[in-house]
Amino acid sequence: MSGPSGDLPFDTTTLLVGGRWRAASGGRTLPLANPSDGSALARIARGGAEDVDAAVNAAQAALDGDWGRLTAAERGRLLAAMGRKVLERVDELARLEALDVGKPLKQGRADAIALARYLEFYGGAADKLHGQTLPYLNGYTALTLREPHGVTGHIVPWNYPMQIIGRSVGAALAMGNACVLKPAEEACLSALAFARLADEAGLPAGALNLVPGLGEEAGAALSAHAGVQHLSFTGSVATGRRVQAAAAQNTIPVTLELGGKSPQIVFADADLDAALPFLVNAGIQNAGQTCSAASRILVERPVFDTVVARMAERYRALRVGPALADLDVGPLISARQHEIVAHYLALARDGGLAIAAQGEVVADAPAGGWYVRPTLVANVDAQHALAQQEIFGPVQVVIAFDGEAEALQIANGTPYGLVAGVWTRDGGRQFRMARGLKCGQVFVNNYGAGGGVELPFGGVKQSGHGREKGFEALYGFSTLKTVAIQHG
């Protein structure tokens, strides 16, 4: 990686089009802040419609050129090489992510390792998605071919850039698409680093193009571009709707990975020792800024007080501080996110809700950082705003229930349907709950264990549609052509 920018390992102010790093047209840039102290971290390119247009053209040229000529096995080998490059640079990537997103170093490391694992997984899968031959009329042979869409657009948020790039760009490249990536304006350093590593690994020019910039400029231009044949969007419901409306104008498919209000449901027969770490970690990981955060904990009444008391004990031990101090929780991403979380905490206080426990911000946390105390709120009505709306901060509500039917009714009773967790030793109930929950992923007696690179992921209702991760993503990032040959 070349061209230092402050104490960062490369020039952060350029974008990547057709294998060439250059300034945004008009030379415009945007500031990037360090969430741990509010200081200026770097400047990034402020790509606009012209840059997006150039990136889409470069992607198409790659499809018509070197990239498009590679065999599936050759693409797989390249992805595997990219994965190895990422593994060699885990510490550097983790530090960048910590500085940029504010996440503790250990989470940055986990994200970098997950990125490598996606590349390894999709590298191995690239030549294993087959078409079919179909029984048809006499004198005919009919078959299906899996083909890339062509140019794919990837709009990603700031909370897990590396993981989301791995699952979306990794799968798209495996299927032979050429990608235009629009990272978030709040955090995009690991995306810039990733594109450099891909180049070092030998990815042909134009197979991956990168245009940082504002959502309403670069993002909107990418989602409306007539040269794009598929869009993958991860972010908020409101923006997802805009992206889908833009995609509709070009009648192209779109994968929407949106928000959630995911429950973990604890029955009285659960192994509480096993459940406790998952209940709390899934709420406070990345300061609660996780689409699949378990922001609602539903507890069967006989064990309600015990679970609240044991979660509270863990909450009181949580330490919040700068990302590089690598504590339990880092700062929120921005002043805006801080305001949103403060609004919900004020709602809890003003509405007389019971704050069961809070973690502590360490005394020497820089004053300019966007820190918030992780907060556990007990005895919340299932219809309360805190139990219905995505907060995107380290705030969990605990809701009591009686029996399976009520658990399902509460769990399914939000506009979202992303993930759910169920804790019970009863085998029959495990299946009944797994079938009854309206969401994209159910974890029984775990929650997100192992990271789930292999497991298809996505939502129902306002959490979105389409699936990424796992082998399933390869169907989404390809299209099917049917061929019927009359041969007498």
Q: Residues with catalytic annotation?
A: 257, 291
Stretch that binds ligand NAD, among 110-118, 219-227, 266-274, 297-305 (CB under 6 A): 219-227
Whole-number minimum distance, CB 123 to ligand NAD, in Å? 22
182 binds ligand NAD (CB under 6 A): yes
158 binds ligand NAD (CB under 6 A): yes
Interface residue with ligand NAD, options 12, 34, 159, 232 (CB under 6 A): 159
What b/e readout covers 133-154, taking b as 16+ CB neighbours within 10 angstroms?
eeeeeeeeeeeeebebbbbbbb
* Whole-angstrom distance, CA of residue 212 vs CA of residue 230: 19
DSSP letter assigned to residue 285? G
> Are the beta carbons of 257 and 459 closer than 8 angstroms?
yes
Structure tokens at 336: 């805006």
Interface residue with ligand NAD, options 258, 287, 327, 408 (CB under 6 A): 258
Give the nearer residue to ligand NAD in terms of CB position, either 172 or 303. 172
Whole-number minimum distance, CB 271 to ligand NAD, in Å? 28
Specify the residue for token string 């096993």.
274
> Are the beta carbons of 153 and 231 closer than 8 angstroms?
yes
Structure tokens at 61: 């040229």
Nearest to 67 by CA among 150, 229, 178: 178
Give the nearer residue to ligand NAD in terms of CB position, either 89 or 225. 225
Interface residue with ligand NAD, options 108, 215, 283, 452 (CB under 6 A): 215
Please list every residue from 55 through 84 that binds ligand NAD, using CB under 6 A: none
DSSP letter assigned to residue 187? B
Laid out side by side, the sheet with 263-266 consists of 354-358, 375-378, 395-401, 296-300, 263-266, 419-423, 441-444
> Are the beta carbons of 157 and 235 closer than 8 angstroms?
yes
Under DSSP, is residue 283 helix (H, G, I), strand (E, B) or coil? Answer: helix
Stretch that binds ligand NAD, among 37-45, 80-88, 228-236, 297-305 (CB under 6 A): 228-236
219 binds ligand NAD (CB under 6 A): yes
Stretch that binds ligand NAD, among 37-45, 131-139, 173-181, 252-260 (CB under 6 A): 252-260
* Whole-angstrom distance, CA of residue 231 vs CA of residue 211: 15
Whole-number minimum distance, CB 237 to ligand NAD, in Å? 7
* Whole-angstrom distance, CA of residue 331 vs CA of residue 343: 16
Interface residue with ligand NAD, options 223, 255, 285, 462 (CB under 6 A): 223
| Sign for the pseudo-dihedral over CA of 17, 21, 27, 29 | positive
Under DSSP, is residue 200 helix (H, G, I), strand (E, B) or coil? Answer: helix
Give the nearer residue to ligand NAD in terms of CB position, either 281 or 430. 281
In the chain the first and final C-alpha atoms are separated, in Å, by: 59
What b/e readout covers 231-266, taking b as 16+ CB neighbours within 10 angstroms?
bbbbbbbebbebbbebbeeeebbbbbbbbbbbbbbb
Interface residue with ligand NAD, options 220, 275, 312, 377 (CB under 6 A): 220
191 binds ligand NAD (CB under 6 A): no
Please list every residue from 342 through 401 that binds ligand NAD, using CB under 6 A: 390, 392
Stretch that binds ligand NAD, among 66-74, 76-84, 258-266, 353-361 (CB under 6 A): 258-266
Interface residue with ligand NAD, options 239, 285, 396, 478 (CB under 6 A): 239
Please list every residue from 398 through 457 that binds ligand NAD, using CB under 6 A: 418
* Whole-angstrom distance, CA of residue 94 vs CA of residue 108: 4
* Whole-angstrom distance, CA of residue 442 vs CA of residue 280: 17
Whole-number minimum distance, CB 180 to ligand NAD, in Å? 12
Structure tokens at 296: 């609602």
Give the nearer residue to ligand NAD in terms of CB position, either 238 or 363. 238
> Are the beta carbons of 438 and 461 closer than 8 angstroms?
yes
Could you tell me which residues come within 8 angstroms of residue 450 by beta carbon, excluding any fewer than 6 positions away? Answer: none
Give the nearer residue to ligand NAD in terms of CB position, either 374 or 440. 440
155 binds ligand NAD (CB under 6 A): yes
323 binds ligand NAD (CB under 6 A): no
# residues contacting ligand NAD (CB under 6 A): 28
Whole-number minimum distance, CB 457 to ligand NAD, in Å? 7
Whole-number minimum distance, CB 272 to ligand NAD, in Å? 28
DSSP letter assigned to residue 80? H
Whole-number minimum distance, CB 483 to ligand NAD, in Å? 35
Could you tell me which residues come within 8 angstroms of residue 149 by beta carbon, excluding any fewer than 6 positions away? Answer: 175, 177, 229, 230, 252, 253, 477, 478, 479
Interface residue with ligand NAD, options 12, 57, 209, 234 (CB under 6 A): 234
257 binds ligand NAD (CB under 6 A): yes
216 binds ligand NAD (CB under 6 A): yes
236 binds ligand NAD (CB under 6 A): yes
Whole-number minimum distance, CB 121 to ligand NAD, in Å? 17
Give the nearer residue to ligand NAD in terms of CB position, either 294 or 357. 294
Q: Which residues bind ligand NAD (CB under 6 A)?
A: 155-160, 182, 184-185, 215-216, 219-220, 223, 234-236, 239, 242-243, 257-260, 291, 390, 392, 418
